[in-house]
Structures are given as structure tokens and as C-alpha cells.
Structure 1
Amino acid sequence: MMANLFSSFDPSTNWNSSINWLSTLIGILIIPTSFWLIPSRINFLWTKISLTLHKEFKTLIGPNVKGATLMFISLFSLILFNNFLGLFPYIFTSTSHMVLTLSLALPLWLSFMLFGWINNTIHMFAHLVPQGTPPVLMPFMVCIETISNVIRPGTLAIRLSANMIAGHLLMTLLGNTGSMLSIYLINILLIVQILLLVLESAVAIIQSYVFAVLSTLYSSEVN
């Protein structure tokens, strides 16, 4: 019996243990398959996705930074894997917790800010006042731009966790009503749940892509 609606997102709900956080590391088990002598279709597909992301991130970052696309592709892969893993029954969705999402967003943003302010100080000051701003509005624009920069890791983390919680919570609420419905309504409920599962699969891909692209754009601003 759930104590509240959000207890299904508590890592210690199932089996009364926080070992569910280990689901984040299950992806390590499938990494050796990419080193097989004869790769499978999944390896070819993942290689194609990685190359496409590499070209897009390279365009956003620019030619000055070498090897940064590997970091953002790895970030995309980690979030995508954990988003999909949360769709399986009895597997904890680690990306629905601010503990994980903020741990990914905050160090990235902090490293970008430190790199930018140490190496490109004048460039960072120029970002605080958009071009063409009237002199009267410059103090307000500096405050607005500063606030928008400070809340960036929070918006990244909250966007990812809120989207993961919203869909899973809706599926949980609908699934708990199945025992009280008639056979006809259960058939409708199954169709709705399948459609929601397809929607959540799309959300899992989109949110991991958005997180990686926004992180890439934030890094391109400090160069």
C-alpha cells in the first residue's frame, strides 16, 4: 500500500532497500558487446546515432574545442539508457530524482562558468549586456542575465526529473485503477497504457537529447 502518490519514486520502496540505485550502472554490462569481432545490428545502429550526434554537437561547439563531443554523447547515452530502463516493471527510474539530474547538471554548468570567467573574462562580461541595449536598461539586463545563468543547472535538472515523474505517475495512477474496472474498461485501459508507454518512450529520447543539446549550447557560450 502506497503511503502517497510519489512513494513509487522512492528508491527504498521495493524490497525496502536503496539498492535500486544500482540500476543506473546496469548499462555497463552491455558495453563489452561493442568490442565484438562481428558487431550486431544494434551496434551498427548505435554507431550511426553516435556519428550523427557527433556531427551536430561539433557544429554547436565549434572547431576550437577538441574531444568535447565524446563527453556530451556519453551524457546523452547515460540519460537515455536510464530513461528507458525506468519503463520496465520493478526497475527504479533514477533520472526521476533530482539527486541524479542535479549531479549531472551542476558540475557541468560550474565547470563551464569557471572556464569562461577564468579564460574569457571580457567575453563573459559582454554576454551580460545584449548588443543594442539602451544605457538606462543595462543594470536591469545585467541582473536578468545573471539570474538566467544561475538558474540554468536547476532548469536542466528539474526539466528532466519532472518529465520522467509526470508520465510514470500517470501510468501508475491508471494502473492502480485496473482492479476496480469491468472487463470492457480494462481493455480500454490497456490500450491507453500502451499509448502512454509509446509516449514515454518518445519522451525518454527527447529529454535525453534536450539535456545534451542544452549542455552543449551552454559550453559553446564560454568559448
Structure 2
Amino acid sequence: MKMMTNLFSSFDPSTSFNLSLNWLSTLLGMVIIPSMFWLIPSRWNFLWIKITMTLHNEFKILIGDSIKGSTLIFISLFSFIVFNNFLGLFPYIFTSSSHLILTLSLALPLWLSFMIYGWFNNTIHMFAHLVPQGTPPILMPFMVCIETISNIIRPGTLAVRLAANMIAGHLLMTLLGNTGSMLSMIMINILIFTQILLLILESAVAIIQSYVFAILSTLYSSEVN
């Protein structure tokens, strides 16, 4: 039991003072932003502008030009998640995006606002979404049930996907790291090489999961128009 407590202690929001001060790591991304945007434009600045412009062009195609600047909310969402995911890869920094509290707090309000907007403004369009085109009449009641369930679980799947991917990688790295003290010199070198590869993989996962969260949110918003 002691081993399991130590293994999951990196995901514990409370500190030695019995306060949830670890959640402050969520705001650490704000420390990175000022130097990037307010000092002389650097390579990082140009890189970030390139990323945001690419995302803007992609999201604009999905959403359409109905509301100007509507892509900004999804670019901000991507930025917030990618900052948290990356900060979680540094030692002694709490990964807030590995908790369902944070991921559900992002997914649920977005999904609820899309649903409320869609059902109030485009009711017929929303009803039409419940029955895919070309469905035989006998299957229509089943399709309505399936589509309704798939719609309801969307915020849950968004939240769980992000949290589970963050937890899985961190746990694997922790488990491998804990075995280091019991290995020979040759095995330690192999372990370090494996950990570096895992770190590269986790960096890719951090970006991919942020992009998946943002692009799926954009797709869900495009369905209500």
C-alpha cells in the first residue's frame, strides 16, 4: 500500500501544509507568456505566432466566418492545455491536466453552452442531427437513442481522454525511474536512454492531446450552427 501511495503522490494536489497549493502550477504558463509577447520579437515569438495562425486557419474552416474572432477561444484552450501538459514534464511540477476536475471544468461548460445555444436557436437542425441521413424508418428510434447517448458522453470522453493520457505517461516514467536504484550500470544506461525516448514521446502526446481537445471542441461547436 505504501508503494502505491508513493507512486500516485505526484498526482496529489495537496502539499505538506494540507493546502492545495499544487494547483498554482496551472498558472505557471502565464509566467512564460509576457517575455514572449512584450519583449523584442524572438524566434519563440515567431514560432508561436506561426502555430496560432495555423490553428486559426484550421478552426476557421470548421467554424466558418459566421462570428469574427470565434477561433480565439479554441486557440486559447489549446494554449492553456499545452502549457499545462508541458509544465507537467518538468520535475516537481504538478500536472493539473491529469485531473478530471480540470479537464471536466474545460469540457463541460463548452459542451453545455453549445447545447443550450443549439437547442434554443437551431432546434430543427439539432433534431435533424439525431437521425443520420439515409437511416431506414425501422431503425430511427434506435438511432435517436444512440445519437443522444453519444452526444451526452462527449464532455466525459473529452475529459477522460486528456486526463488518462497524461496519467499513463507520467506513471510509466515514474515506474521506470523507481527501478533505477536496483539496476547495474549497463541497465541504468539503457534505462536513461528509454526515459529520454519516453520523454520525447510524452512531449509529442502533450501537443497531440491539446490539439485533439481543441479540434473536437471546434467540431462540436460547428454542429450547432
TM-score range relative to shorter protein = over 0.9
Name which of 157, 177, 180 aligns with 1:178.
180
CA deviation after TM superposition for structure 1 residue 28, in Å: 1.5
TM-score by length of 1: 0.96
Alignment partners' CA distance in 1, 2:105 and 2:88: 18
Q: Which residue of 2 aligns with 1:54?
A: 56
**Contact 2:131–2:144 (8 Å) recurs in 1:** yes
Q: Which of 121, 124, 127 is the equivalent residue of 1:122?
A: 124
Matches of 1:14 and 1:83, distance apart in 2? 24
Task: Flag the 1:21–1:164 CA change in 2: closer, same or farther, 3 A.
Answer: same
The 1-side partners of 2:57 and 2:121 are apart by 26
Q: How do residues 45-84 of structure 1 correspond to structure 2 at under 5 angstroms?
A: 45-84=47-86
Counterparts in 2 of 1:157-196, with a 5 A limit?
Answer: 157-196=159-198
Distance of 1:186 and 1:51 partners within structure 2: 43
| Contact persistence 2:36–2:44 (CA under 8 A) | no
> What count of residue pairs does the alignment treat as equivalent?
223
Residue 211 in structure 1 maps to residue 207 in structure 2: no
What are the superposed Cα offsets for residues 127-154 of structure 1, whole Å, 9 maximum, x if unpaired? Answer: 0001111111000000000000000000
Runs of 4+ in 1 over 6 A off after TM superposition: none
1:95 to 87, 92, 97: 97
Q: 1:178 to 1:37 in 2, by over 3 A?
A: closer
**Range with bigger deviation, 6-15 or 88-97:** 6-15
Q: How many percent of aligned residue pairs carry the same amino acid?
A: 81
Aligned partners of 1:99 and 1:212: how far apart in 2? 18
* Counterpart-to-counterpart distance in 1, 2:178 and 2:16: 16
CA RMSD of aligned residues (A): 1.4
Shift of 1:14: 6.5
Partner of residue 35, structure 2: 33
Any residues of structure 2 matched to 1:148-163 within 5 Å, and which?
148-163=150-165
Give the partner amino acid of 1:59. I
Query: Structure 2-normalised TM-score?
Result: 0.95
Deviation at 1:26, TM superposition (A): 1.2
